[in-house]
Structure 1
Amino acid sequence: MASSIHLYGGRILINIAIVDNEKSVLENIRGILLNLSGEFKDVHIDTYEKAEDFLVAFETIRYQILISDVDMPEINGIEMGKKARDRDPNIYIIFLTAYVEYAIESYRMEAYQYILKEDVEERLPEIMERLIEIVRNHSIKYCYIGSETQRVKMCQDDIIYIQKAKGTKYTSFFTVKGEVRERISIENVLEKLMSDEFVIVDRSSVVNLRHIMKVRDNVIYLSNGDAVEASHARIKKVKENIRKYWEER
């Protein structure tokens, strides 16, 4: 069961999830964040006592930051973090642990930070102030996609890739919530999005750099498990865009 708080009024810009099977730890972490409320305007926090509850909520709520205990029953923090990364490779994860050896696992999955529980009150405020600033610097953009009678408001970050099938007038937007179709050209799609994070990989396909998991030869593997082939003429430029994107993050 999640408990929710708004630190300030206004629209939610940043969603933070805290996961720990000990209620006292959840309250302590939440209290630390509330004490930093001057730095946390327009932030929303949810707390979860079970990893399973967080993963279910993550299907519909876009969390940018996850703070989690490592040692939890049923699904531990490392396993939950990997599942969260499968859903959104750009989520920032901070692990809390009472055991130094768990830090090695957190590094292997490229967690943003790990914090020993004995150091949490000292280290978490500074880390969160820095991380909130990083997230805020990435402005959230929305667009409307779909048919004239069924428009959907979509966060651009949640669009994984876009394809126009040969011989059809419709373009498909593959998103974290499923497929949406619109009668629009690829050129007009790019004009609508106006973002350097979307790159053309062939004449009929555009991918979101945020959702690229790996590239093998000219095949691009995406966060939803789909794969898109880049043309031989474009693959070199695509790889350059990917490298530049990750260097700037």
Structure 2
Amino acid sequence: MKIIILDDDAVFAGELYDQISTGCARRDWPLSCRIFSSPQVVLNEDLSDVQVAFLDIDMPEINGIEVACQLRQRYPDIILVFVTAYIQYAPTGYKVNAFRYIMKNQYVKEIDACLDAIQDKLFEDTETLLVELKDSTTEIALKDILYFEGTSYRRVLLHRVSSPGPHLECLGKLGDYEKKLQDKGFIRLHKSFLVNMCYISRLANYQVKLRNGEVLKVSESSYRDICSQYLMWKGSRL
């Protein structure tokens, strides 16, 4: 697991690292950690390979919430864990989809539960779907699927996050994929679209806007149910 720790208290940062390292060793996880005391230095680094950021909030240069906002914009999949002495910051952290809050006076007790939750999250994000192509089958990570588009020829076009070029043409019907992806964060917007909700940036006026700027039509007859499903899913991730 690749992590960073940002805290202007070097002693506490070292103690936190020791607890995380011990927890990872018990789980047989390899650990790579970089410790920072300056928010600005963190923001100047390339953190594209970092999976988890443990962030203090109350720092004199730039507070941890502001750092988290910038990290979330640059690295949408990074797991953000706030380690703070001030619980009043918790509501603000939801704006950046903070994964967890750990109070500094309880971190020894809470770090194990946090690592278990991180393990579940990382496993969830590496789930794959086996899709059948014309001449072969292939596994696609769920987090790499933007949406499926149904066609009238028992074919489904798979639009990928990591590949804005040609889409994959998969065998089967859109309904088949909808059944396979129940409870996996996908929603049927329309008879032609099955979308990964992680990549919805806006749902309004019978349309969905995706993070890449694409706009998809939402069924008018099912619009209220779709809005309700999306809000429930979004709330479950806070």
C-alpha distance in structure 2 between counterparts of 1:57 and 1:216, whole Å: 33
Alignment of 1:56-67 (within 5 A): 56-58=46-48, 61=49, 63=51, 65-67=52-54
- Aligned-partner SS, 1:57: coil
Residue 190 of structure 1: CA displacement?
A: 4.9
Q: Which residue of 2 aligns with 1:184?
A: 170
Query: How has the CA–CA distance of structure 1 residues 146 and 187 changed in structure 2, closer, same or farther, with 3 Å as cutoff?
Result: closer
Q: TM-score, normalised by structure 1?
A: 0.64
1:152, distance to aligned residue in structure 2 (A): 7.9
Corresponding position of 1:159? 145
| Matched AA of 1:212 | I
- 1:125 is paired with a residue of what secondary structure? helix
Q: TM-score normalized by structure 2?
A: 0.66
Show the counterpart of 1:7. none
Amino acid at match of 2:80: I
Superposed, 1:133-212 pairs within 5 Å as 134-135=120-121, 138=124, 140-143=126-129, 154-163=140-149, 171-175=157-161, 177-180=162-165, 181-184=167-170, 187=173, 190-191=176-177, 194-196=180-182, 197-212=185-200
User: Are the aligned partners of 2:100 and 2:114 in contact in 1 as well (CA < 8 Å)?
Assistant: no
| Letter matched to residue 231 of structure 1 | S
Q: Distance in 1 between matches of 2:116 and 2:214?
A: 33
Q: How many residues align?
A: 228
2:93 alignment partner, SS class? helix
- Note if contact 1:19-1:48 (Cα within 8 Å) is conserved in structure 2: yes
3-state SS of paired residue (2:219): coil
Instruction: Check whether the contact 1:201–1:207 (CA below 8 A) recurs between aligned residues.
Output: yes
Partners of 2:126 and 2:142 within 8 A in 1: yes
- Cα 1:31–1:191, aligned 2, differ >3 Å: closer, same or farther? same
| Structure with the larger RCO, 1 or 2 (CA within 8 Å, 6+ apart) | 1
CA 1:96/1:216 → structure 2, altered by over 3 Å: closer, same or farther?
same
Match of 1:227 in 2: 215
Give the % identical residues. 18
The answer to whether the Cα contact below 8 Å between 1:143 and 1:155 also exists between their aligned partners in 2 is yes
Cα distance in 2 for partners of 1:62, 1:200 equals 32
Q: Any unmatched runs of 5+ in structure 2?
A: none
Task: Determine if contact 1:20/1:72 at 8 Å carries over to the other structure.
Answer: no
Partners of 2:106 and 2:228 in 1: CA distance? 39
**CA, structure 1 residues 62+144, in 2 after alignment: closer, same or farther (shift >3 Å)?**
farther
